[in-house]
Structure 1
Amino acid sequence: MRTIRKSEQDIMDVGQYMMNFRLAWGNSGNISKRINEDTMLITGSGTYMGHLEESDLVEVTISSGQFNSNKKRPSKEIPMHAAIYQARPDAGFVIHASPFWTTLAACTDLQIESKFFIESMYYAERIAYVDYYHPGSKALGAAVGAKANEANVLILKNHGVIVFDSTMQEARMCLETIEMTCKMAALSKMSGLNPAILNADTASDFLQHAGYKPRRLW
């Protein structure tokens, strides 16, 4: 019970944080946290990120997608979240959002590079693109699950972004970082500036010796 309450509070805190810092708007986006190997807690369908309550959060079985029908209906994006938890045993927290600059990148030909600055190398270590599939579809879930093995930031074409990490704090920082990275990339392109991208050896050396936490396993 204590684990559930802490998880509920984590999700509610992140929802408020996202709204405060313009990482979410209206009822767009959804958040989940892994409770145990085969259970996740996910925001309900149509919930407003800035005013989440305990009644807005639903327990869902990861392997089957089943949930308690007596509560609010969970987000239809269950397939995406479940696919990440199944593909990545290290994933503990998943955020799907449509912040402005990242969604702009998702809807244009703007290519986003992680080897941009310190935080982008670390929090947005690997970025992959997922082709458009309808929200909530099994096809989208399958595409996200396949890409989750190679990247922790998945830009969903004409849709938004989904990020994951081991903890709430790391996942939230990942979302902030990809939004900042996309903003820098877009403004650089619009202003005619040429960003200096670090080479792969430098980025690898930084990640190997950064000392923040053990490197992700790919």
Structure 2
Amino acid sequence: MGEKQQLINAGHYLISNQLAWGTSGNISARIDSNRMIITASGTFMANLGQDDFVDCQIDTGQIEGTRKASKETPMHLGIYRQRKDVKAILHASPLYTTLFSCSYEPILSELFVETMYYLENIAYVDYYHPGSQELAEAITEQAPNANIIIMRNHGVVVFDDSVLEAQMRLETLEMACRMILKAKESGVQLKMIPEKTVQSFLEDSFYKTRKK
């Protein structure tokens, strides 16, 4: 399956599972060492088609074709330039994750198997206007530190070595944020997995080989 079809499927999945909405968000995939495709400006995730992507050179940022690329293209370029291992980037504003981005509530990783693995490292950047050079620079600076970057009062960007892994990372994040909020609402005391157990889980590959 080609990269475009993988992104189309991911866009439809994000909408169907309330991980994205309307024209909010943008997604991209690395085609080769110096090329990426990214959703065009104003595209609806639910209706993505083969013509809704723009081809872009990673080193120069040069756009091919007549369609306008997403205004968040500089952010994607910064991640791909910093992280040669990254093959897919998803930027979205799911409800619970965005709620946490608008607060100082911590996102816990010591809850269950998937959170231990996918939420091990989360970076944060302050609010900057969407598409701004300041946002792109902040994201680029944090890209080496985590595969999840929370953008304060905006949303999140996740990236990984495949579209499906990035999708799983985003879904795990939203699930954890929802669980934490529901526990607070219900007065349920969450039981954390001990740090020693978490490290054993990650280092001894009881789920998947740890990505470093």
Backbone CA RMSD of aligned residues = 1.4
What does 1:65-214 align with in structure 2 at a 5 Å threshold? 65-68=61-64, 70-214=65-209
Equivalents in 1 of 2:192, 2:124: separation in Å? 19
- Tell me whether 1:52 sits opposite 2:28 in the alignment: no
- Alignment partners' CA distance in 1, 2:159 and 2:88: 6
Give the TM-score of the pair, scaled to structure 2: 0.95
Q: Determine the structure 2 residue equivalent to 1:63.
A: 59
Alpha-carbon offset, residue 134 of structure 1: 0.9
- In structure 2, C-alpha distance between the alignment counterparts of 1:199 and 1:177, rounded to whole Å: 20
Greater Cα shift, 127-136 or 40-49 = 127-136
Residue 100 of structure 1 aligns with an amino acid whose one-letter code is L
2:132 and 2:123 map into 1 onto residues whose CA distance is: 19
1:212: how far off? 4.7
Tell me the SS of whatever aligns to 1:144.
helix
Runs of 5+ consecutive residues of structure 1 not aligned to the other structure: none
* Rounded Cα–Cα distance in structure 1 between residues aligned with 2:59 and 2:140: 13
Given that 1:155 and 1:162 are in contact with CA atoms closer than 8 Å, whether structure 2 keeps it comes out as yes
Q: Which runs of 4+ in 1 moved over 3 A?
A: 211-214
- One-letter amino acid of the counterpart of residue 120, structure 2: E
Alignment: residue pair count:
212
Q: Structure 1 residue 197: deviation in Å?
A: 2.1
Counterpart of 1:20 (choices 16, 19, 25) is: 16
Structure 2, unaligned stretches of length 5 or more? none
Shift in Å, 1:76: 0.7
CA–CA separation in structure 2 for the residues paired with 1:184 and 1:125: 17
C-alpha separation between the residues in 2 aligned to 1:194 and 1:130?
A: 29
Local SS of the residue matching 2:120:
coil
**One-letter amino acid of the counterpart of residue 148, structure 1:** A
| Distance in 1 of aligned mates of 2:204 and 2:147 | 19
Matched, 1:43 2:39: yes
Q: In structure 2, how many angstroms separate the alpha carbons of the residues matched to 1:137 and 1:123? A: 28
